Structure 1
Amino acid sequence: MSKLPSQKLLSIGELARITGASVRSIRHYDEHGLLASVRASNGYRMFPEKATTQVRQIQRMIATGFTIDDIRAFPDCMLLIEGARSCDQISDVQRKRLETIDRQIADLERRRARLLKTLSEGAIPPVE
């Protein structure tokens, strides 16, 4: 991996402790190019301090329903500034994600209604 500018580096464990993310998640983000790391002489991953902001931003985006692939397509500014406002470039992605979530909610509501009907009638209703 490329050499990072001279600054304090964090071990993956330190980064996990600071951000509350799991070591496994941090490895996953790194493997998908969302974080920059270097290998220490012992082979361990080391991260620049700015990775704390990046990990927190990634966590926020995932909690909003975005996938790793979605996040990889976002402008770098979205990862480098904690609490960064959405850029115009991702508005379409956000709208599509919202449409997906709305479809999932509608599907879950239909399933819930079927299950309630099953419980009240004692039989599984036919598929409509």
Structure 2
Amino acid sequence: MRIGELAERTGVSPRSLRYYEQHGLLSARRAANGYRHYSEEDVRLVSEIRALLSVGFTLEDTRPFLDCLRRGHSSGGACAESVEVYERKLKEIDEEIRALLARRAEVAAQLAQSCPGCFVRG
């Protein structure tokens, strides 16, 4: 399939697909006329990239998941390298949550000091 069809099937712009290719996440074959040609596997890879990006993973984070799919696993998260990325991302999220809770507590304390009768939710 050509880039337009892959874009349509995955909901990703052709520009993004070329960007993924530039970063080595996709590798289009070239037809005799120079057009990019993609396979059904590429639909799966782009869907995996899109799903991971949507929950906060970086483009670089997606590599182990894509490699896992290319090795024939039914899930990009089935390989040890992918699990490591999941675990690292969870630690990052936990750190972000702790930082946000600390900031919230500080803002609530400032509100309580500035407005003793004000109600602080949460």
Give the TM-score normalised by the residue count of structure 2: 0.69
Compute the RMSD of aligned alpha carbons. Answer: 2.9
For structure 2, list consecutive stretches of 5 or more residues without a partner in the other structure. Answer: 116-122
User: What CA distance in whole angstroms lies between the structure 1 residues aligned with 2:32 and 2:99?
Assistant: 51
1:11-50 to structure 2, matched below 5 A, reads 11-40=2-31, 43-50=34-41
Q: One-letter code of the match for 2:89?
A: R
Contact 1:56 1:82 in 2 (8 A): no
Q: Alignment partner for residue 59 of structure 1, among 50, 71, 77?
A: 50
Instruction: Sort the Cα spacing of 1:39 and 1:63 in 2 relative to 1 into closer, same or farther, 3 A.
Output: same
Q: Alignment partner for residue 114 of structure 1, among 106, 115, 118?
A: 106
Contact 1:61 1:71 in 2 (8 A): yes
Give the TM-score normalised by the residue count of structure 1: 0.66
Aligned length: 114
Q: One-letter code of the match for 1:90?
A: S
% identity of equivalent residues? 39
User: How far off is 1:103 after superposition?
Assistant: 0.6
For structure 1, list consecutive stretches of 5 or more residues without a partner in the other structure. Answer: 1-9, 124-128
Q: One-letter code of the match for 2:103?
A: R
